[in-house]
A and B are shown apart, each in its own frame.
Chain A
Amino acid sequence: MNKTIAQATISVNEEGYLTDFSQWTKEIGEEIAKEENIDMSDRHWEVIDYIHNQYKNEVALSIRGIKKSGVINIKEFYGLFPGGPLKKCTKIAGIPKPKSCI
């Protein structure tokens, strides 16, 4: 389905995840974050950069991966994206929701 956000029309799935990463911009990410009640700070964007890199390198995201990332620890990750951090940050980052159980 289509959604208009940050003066752009993007294609999203029923959960609100972008279906085409090429449509993603930082402004769109910022607006999705607002919908999730998250005010993006520089620290949030550092995490999104890490998430984007993992996505580009086709590395599956997991909580264990966050622990080993060297970018952020798990406690801070939950603090920055409360209520399901991997789900929320992938949504903001414009990439698919992780399928891992761990």
Chain B
Amino acid sequence: MSDTKVKKMLFILSKATIENVYAAFIMANGARMEGIESEIFFTFFGLEAIQKKKLEHLRVATVGNPAMHMPTMLGGLPGVEALATKMMKREMEKLDMPPVNEFIEILSDSGCKLWGCKLAIDMFHLEKEDLIDELDGILTIGDFYNRADREDTHLLFI
């Protein structure tokens, strides 16, 4: 159906700011909607997006983010990050973008594979029960490279 030469997308998500998590989720879901296989490997801070207790509390970065057009000193004041996050979530809801937990369900149901990084999970002392039920497994980076089992695979680091 689709003319694209890309048949499989592998994403490595290493960050936990809302804009990075959504970038990975939207691209992974968009791939499935085009008939392209997709998988996400959550590592380092990206693991926040698959921890049951943390995934609803992801935030936008107001410090060190020039695109916020906000002085760094102001971005660091108490409550500013929370307010910016609230505003961004409201705009996302207007566009019918699902919250993180619902997005994970959608991805899983759509056939997108979700993997945890073994090294980072060990480093943060996480247990299986800390992680979402939709997780397909815990892999080493070598295992994840082996998921690129066809020539038309692309790998993206976020």
Contact = CB atoms under 8 A, between A and B. Distances in A.
B91 to A, nearest CB: 14
B130 interface: no
A56 interface: no
A79 to B, nearest CB: 9
Nearest to B31: A84
B143 interface: no
B97 A87 contact: no
Interface stretch (B64-72, B106-114, B145-153): B106-114
Contact of B1 (A36, A60, A75, A100): A36
B1 A102 contact: no
Contact of B30 (A73, A78, A101): A101
A62 interface: yes
A73 B109 CA distance: 8
Q: Which of A36, A65, A73, A87 is packed against the most chain B CB atoms within 10 Å?
A: A87
Contact of B111 (A60, A78, A101): A78
Interface size bracket, A side: 20 to 34
B129 interface: no
B122 interface: no
A41 B65 CA distance: 52
B109 A87 contact: no
Interface string B9-41: 000000000000000001001101111000000
B98 interface: yes
B1 A88 contact: yes
Nearest to A64: B98
Contact of A84 (B26, B35, B102): B35
A48 B105 CA distance: 23
A84 B35 CA distance: 4
B34 A102 contact: no
A64 B2 contact: no
A20 to B, nearest CB: 22
Interface in A30-55: 36
9 contacts: A36-B1, A60-B96, A63-B33, A84-B1, A84-B35, A87-B33, A87-B35, A88-B1, A102-B30
Interface of A: 36, 60, 62-65, 67, 73-75, 78, 82-88, 100-102
